[in-house]
Structure 1
Amino acid sequence: MQAVGTSRSLTLADVTIRLEGRMLLSISATVMPGEVLTVMGPSGSGKSTLLAFAGGFLDPAFDVSGRILIGDRDLTEIAANRRHAGILFQDPLLFPHLSVGGNIVFAIPAAVKGHKKRRELAEEALEQVGLAGFFDRDPETLSGGQKARVALQRVLVSTPEFLLLDEPFSKLDAALRQQMRELVFSKAKAAGLPTILVTHDGADAAAAGGRLIEVGTEEKA
């Protein structure tokens, strides 16, 4: 099984986000290893903006105060590529020029040396989600659910310290949605990763099983 980051809590300390002087959200929370915090609200309520702040890629048009910490380490001023955040979006965003296995190898930390070892880790990751033998496949030949599983494993092999989930189930059909919820949340718990899920779907929140914070109104940002 692939290694994961050292499990530490994730803290949103007095995080307030505004756009053009209008308050979008204000949150303080600590997410323990293996816990999922769900932030639920309609479009324009600042959910994805919160993840952008946590991940280090917030548009400068937003005015933000507060801090984000992993354990005792303050990430607020640290560049996105040094935060060790694992992020899943609505779309799998697989690299079309790489094979299925190549997508996963790409995310394996550089500290893992050797072509053979890196391929073995990628093949193991694929096998864990029922995709044994898919290493050399073109991502375009995969179903939506298969692409979602590859995207999940690509995140996990990168040894993240926390997960940010931006409505990753919303574009799956109903038959796959619950299956992917169970897979993602079980993987996050097994890896001991503090996780923030943003969604507008109450079924996502129920499946996550953790705390729920509701934000925003129907007013668009």
Structure 2
Amino acid sequence: MEELIMNLIEAFKELSYFGVILALTFEFIPGEVVLPLVGYWVYQGDMNLWLAVLAGSVGGVTGPLTLYAIGRYGGRPVVLKFGKYFFVREKELDAADRFFAKYGASVAFLGRFIPVVRTAISFPCGIAKMNIWQFSIYTFFAMVPITFLYIYLGYKLGPKWEQVGTIAEKYLLPFAIVALAGLILYIWLKSSSERKRKIAG
């Protein structure tokens, strides 16, 4: 199975940056494998770091959107039936459900930084029929730093890119805090600007 996945990823490489997006869209290929390998391609000089991060971030949205659609239009029974093909078992889905119940729509952002619910969190968002644009935006803002982390580590480790997963997990929580702070600041500045416009008007 692992050899098949690696062969698929290498085939996607032929499509360059679009291939990165495509590889991540099919969630049965773990992003934790794809992104470090993309970093290795950057190390080899086959790709540009920033374009690779952009492609990876876009793919980091199209992939979860696939799972969101399964949850939205298929419901929990379909998710339980086909979730195994996306490495999501009932245990992960239950954890994602609890996380969604506790934090609401913000899980589309926060859940990406938590290993146990990272992939599964898209399902309850779909089942709850969360606004698709809100889901996509939250997911994108979460995936930019995560994508950068995995690709950059793959780039720095070069031929040892397979070690990225172990190292990356240590940095995900600090990344989540920084990213969340940035998101809160953005929302605050935007709402503050709107209030000033209303006062001025």
Same fold (TM > 0.5):
no
Whichever structure has more strand as a proportion of its residues is: 1
Greater relative contact order (Cα < 8 A, sep 6+): 1
Whichever structure has more helix as a proportion of its residues is: 2
